[in-house]
Amino acid sequence: MSSTRRAFLKTSTLVATSLVIGMELPESLAGKVASAFEPNAYISISPDNIVRLWITRSEMGQGVRTTLTMMLAEELEANWSNIRLEQATPGGRFKDIRLRTSGSGSTVGTYDALRKAGATAREMLIAAAAENWNVPASACRAERGTVVHVATGRKLTYGKLAAAAARQRVPDNPPLKNPKDFRIIGKPLKRIDGHGIVTGQAVYGIDVHVPGMLYAVMARCPFVGGKVASFDATKALAVRGVRHVAPVKSGLATGVAVVADHTWAAMKGRDALKVEWDQGPNADFDSDHFLTQMQDQLAQPQDGYFVRDDGDARKVLGSAAKKLEATYELPFQAHAPLETMNCVADVRKDSCEIWAPTQCPEVVQSETAKMLALAEDSVKVHITLLGGGFGRRLIADYAHEAVEVSRAIGKPVQMLWTRSDDMRCGFFHPCDVEHIAGGSDVRGRPIAWVQRSIGSDLSVVPYPTEEQKKNPRGYFNEGLPWGSFDNPYNFPNLKADFIPLNSPVPTGPWRAVFYPSPVFARESFLDEMAHAAEKDPLEFRLHLLEPGDVLKVGDAKIDRSRLIRVLRVAAEKAGWKRPLPQTGDRLWGRGGACNVYDEDCYIAQVAEVSVGAEANDVRVHRIVCAVDCGLVVNPLGLEGQAESGIIWGLSATLSGKIDFKKGAAVQSSFTDFEVLRMDQAPAIETHIVASDHPPGGFGETAVPPVAPAVVNAIFAATGKRIRRLPVSLQEATCSGCSINATARSQA
């Protein structure tokens, strides 16, 4: 599949290449298992029947250790209980294999390569057995860790065959299984590494301890773009256990590190440290004021960056019989993974070793090599489990800090961010303003759509690059803003543009990257148009997707029939037309939304909410989700990601935001950056629509439709239209929109 959007998070050297076939022993096995069979970088089979599989992505909860194992084991015909996992590390035999974990791309990006790797090994094992029995290979088949001679029933285990298999010719194009013969792919499998998690044995970045290691925390400049003016280490150094105090400049926020025998002493040392901050050029930055500046851009007469231009939308809109317009606003968001940023670095004279919970190990390696003027091969990066990623760990700032401190003190060190550091001093999902105007003809048919996005570049990636910006159609080609560019609906006249307004706040990828804002606006506005036309919002969408053809936009192909199907399934399973239970003093409503994530994942959601009389008393009771993302490798994993993405989206819908006042982030912990808790969590039903299409990625897909589905349901319940997130019923109005607050779905 070709996708420029997914590609944007790659660096130049990270494109997955064809399988590396070689016999290089991995470091962890070198000298130990001399007769292991290693047909490629991913697989090692030893005489004791243990099958070692290398996982080439970071596990952060999305289940890649299980999914990637399933793909390898399927073609390899491995015995599941003999499998042991190893985490691939950058360089060496993975030099040309992508390890970066981003853009919901792990399944998509490894499916072909891992199946081929498994099939290669299987064919060589079969050839070894055939040779041993002096029969044709076609008379043998592989089965759960053994090769069987079909006619006689003779069997040899993979372990026994390992040495002989290593001598076989490596097939160029080993036959792949017909999907109908899959016995692992497509089955709901529980995660392969769950036991370590429930027993406390699993090792996250924060759990790494190397001999002689010290612990560091940092006083970080809270002002965006500010820096250390001066500091006095005297009192910090007087704290028992504190060993060093050192300035740090290599991260996103500069500061002063306090290094101690253990974390608590480092924290106390940090409290005792005296730092004067130079507030820098943004000391007056205020996110509310910035939002006003963004709104001001809406009236800019010139076009912004080209996103899409079909027909003549402005002209048709001008002469439309009925016109509707609305503005939507979304705030800055933090990632707030439960494991705060951390990294262990051990800088030595001619080398460096790093243990990091990271989504971008190649970047950690290459940038560390640059920092230390070392060859990349001299920087060893171990990837631990990640206590949540969500895009935050695609930036290596915290690893650089650990490297800088280790170099300064000449000892291995763990750099740990406190929760407040993590909430205030990282990078953020950019705030966004969207404006949409829609026009209908005299018969109420929608004929024009004009969407303008006022957003921000991703400053920490950076994306788009200066080079990309020089191309007047660059934003189109790179697919920013997603959701507006690949609007799936059939408007004969559709215009979309993008005006970047960059704040000093560091911004970067967040779960679902650019999709949440344009999709919130698009799916909310469709609901507004449907109500204005007195049409059922679901029927309204289906009508705009007819005749279910394939939309080509840029290099993306959007199959409207797949979107129609998931909309129908979600509506049917949710009982779209069924009256909702009316309980006492609460108003109930249903709302829907859909999206196509990166052209290969089709999703529709229906939310059921109720609204009480108390201030902002919104409860989301149920979300029904229908998905077609092609072949599903692990349905149980997909279901988990649907639940996870929906809860993530709900947190941002109902409570999450980061404000900036006087140049600094206001929120600092889960007390003021509220995330959804269990008593607020709705029942979630996930329905997978069977599909013959190749697998799509699903780590982020469920996020974008949640917010519009919920606000559409709130409208159905109350007639109040929410156009700013997080939801505030007090702020909800119908201004700028021709609808009255009378619509009710309580038929």
Partner 1 sequence: MPMFVLVVNDVQHHVRASSDMPLLWALRDLLHLTGTKYGCGIGVCGACTVHESGIAVRSCQIPLSATSGKRYTTIEGLSAEGNHPCQRAWLEEDVSQCGYCQAGMIMTAAALIQRKPNLSDAEIDAAMSDHVCRCGTFQRLRRAIRRAAREVSKT
238 makes contact with partner 1 (CB under 8 A):
no
Q: Residue type at 427?
A: F
Element (H, E) at 196: helix 194-198
**Closest distance between partner 1 and the C-beta of residue 319, in Å?**
47
Cα angle, residue 745 at apex, residues 744 and 747 outer, rounded to 5°: 105
**Per rule CB under 8 A, count of chain residues that contact partner 1:** 64
| Pick from 647, 708, 716: nearest CA to 683 | 647
Return the residues of window 430-489 that contact partner 1 according to CB under 8 A: none
Is residue 598 a contact point for partner 1 (CB under 8 A)? no
> Which residue, 351 or 680, is less far from partner 1 as judged by CB?
680
Binding status of residue 428 toward partner 1 by CB under 8 A: no
Q: Which of 15, 30, 321, 338 contacts partner 1 by CB under 8 A?
A: 338
Cβ 669 to partner 1 shortest distance, Å:
5
Which residue's entry shows tokens 């917010």? 707
Q: Which of 26, 61, 361, 719 binds partner 1 (CB under 8 A)?
A: 61
| Residue 209 sits in the site that holds partner 1 (CB under 8 A) | yes
Stretch touching partner 1 by CB under 8 A, among 14-22, 258-266, 589-597, 612-620:
258-266
For partner 1, which is the closer residue by CB, 145 or 205?
205
Are the C-beta atoms of residues 402 and 341 closer than 8 Å to each other?
A: no
Rounded to the nearest 5 percent, the helix, strand and coil shares of the chain are 30, 25, 45
Q: How far apart are CA 398 and CA 337, in angstroms?
A: 14
Q: By rule CB under 8 A, what string of x and - marks binding of each residue 626-665 to partner 1?
A: ----------x---x--xxxxxx-xx--------------
Question: What span, in angstroms and rounded, lies between the C-alpha atoms of 304 and 302?
Answer: 6
Among 203, 237, 460, 666, binds partner 1 (CB under 8 A): 203
Could you tell me if 69 and 63 are in contact, meaning their C-beta atoms sit under 8 angstroms apart?
no
Is 11 in contact with 362 (CB distance < 8 Å)?
yes
- The piece of 77-85, 199-207, 426-434, 581-589 that touches partner 1 (CB under 8 A) is 199-207
Question: Counting contacts by CB under 8 A, is residue 60 touching partner 1?
Answer: yes
Site membership for partner 1, residue 729 (CB under 8 A): no
Question: Which one, 262 or 289, has the nearer CB to partner 1?
Answer: 262
Q: Residues 8, 94, 111, 215: which binds partner 1 (CB under 8 A)?
A: 215
Q: Where are the beta strands (DSSP E) in 23-160?
A: 37-40, 43-45, 51-55, 83-87, 140-143, 146-149, 155-157
Nearer to partner 1, 209 or 315 (CB): 209
- State which of residues 31, 136, 200, 211 lies at the interface with partner 1 (CB under 8 A): 200
Shortest separation between residue 215's beta carbon and partner 1, angstroms: 7
Three-class secondary structure of residue 238 per DSSP: helix
Q: Which of 12, 172, 181, 198 binds partner 1 (CB under 8 A)?
A: 198
Q: Does 63 bind partner 1 (CB under 8 A)?
A: yes
Q: Does residue 743 bind partner 1 (CB under 8 A)?
A: no
Residue 262 vs 662, nearer CB to partner 1: 262
Residue 310: which residues within 8 A CB-CB, separation 6 or more?
491, 492, 493, 494, 495
H helices of 434-586, in order, are 466-470, 474-478, 516-532, 537-545, 560-574
Look up residue 532 and give its DSSP letter. H
What is the spatial distance between Cα 92 and Cα 745, in angstroms, rounded to a whole number? 61
Task: Report in angstroms how near the CB of residue 635 gets to partner 1 at its nearest.
Answer: 11
Rounded Cα gap, residues 428 and 419, in angstroms: 15
Asked if 195 touches partner 1 (CB under 8 A), the answer is yes
* Residue 68 phi, psi dihedral angles, 5° rounding: -70, -35
Nearer of residues 60 and 606 to partner 1, judged by Cβ: 60
Give the span between the Cα atoms of 322 and 327, in whole angstroms.
18
Determine, following the binding rule CB under 8 A, whether residue 191 of this chain makes contact with partner 1.
yes
Evaluate whether 391 touches 205 at the Cβ level (below 8 Å).
no
User: Which amino acid type is present at position 1?
Assistant: M
Residue 442: CB atoms within 10 A of its CB come to: 8
Beta bridge partners, 591, equal: 607
Interaction between residue 679 and partner 1 (CB under 8 A): yes
Question: Is residue 106 a contact residue for partner 1 (CB under 8 A)?
Answer: no
Looking at beta carbons only, is 511 or 590 nearer to partner 1? 511
12, 173, 671, 730: which one binds partner 1 (CB under 8 A): 671
Residues 351 to 390 in contact with partner 1, rule: CB under 8 A: 385-390
Of 173, 199, 730, 742, the one binding partner 1 (CB under 8 A) is 199
Q: Which is nearer to partner 1, 263 or 477 (CB)?
A: 263
Q: How far apart are CA 347 and CA 344, in angstroms?
A: 10
Closer residue to partner 1, CB minimum distance, 128 or 684: 684
Least distance between partner 1 and beta carbon 252 (Å): 20
Q: Which stretch binds partner 1 (CB under 8 A): 58-66, 135-143, 174-182, 466-474?
A: 58-66
Of 273, 294, 676, 727, the one binding partner 1 (CB under 8 A) is 676
25 CB contacts (<8 Å, ≥6 apart)? 31, 36, 38
Assess 426 for contact with partner 1 (CB under 8 A): no
| Burial class of residue 452, CB neighbours in 10 A (0-12, 13-18, 19+) | buried
- Residue 62 within binding range of partner 1, rule CB under 8 A: yes
CA–CA gap between residue 339 and residue 419 (Å, rounded): 9
Q: How far is the CB of 387 from partner 1 (least distance, A)?
A: 3
81 contributes a contact to partner 1 by CB under 8 A = no
d(CA 606, CA 624): 5
Q: Exactly one of 91, 105, 337, 518 binds partner 1 (CB under 8 A); which one?
A: 337
Q: Angle 606-608-611 (CA atoms, 0-180°, nearest 5)? A: 145
**How far is residue 119's CA from residue 76's CA, in Å, rounded to a whole number?**
5
Q: Which of 695, 699, 642 is nearest to 108 (CA)?
A: 695
**Which residues contribute to the site for partner 1 (CB under 8 A)?**
60-63, 190-191, 194-195, 197-204, 206-207, 209, 215, 240-241, 262-265, 267-268, 336-340, 385-390, 416, 418-419, 636, 640, 643-648, 650-651, 669-671, 675-681, 683-684
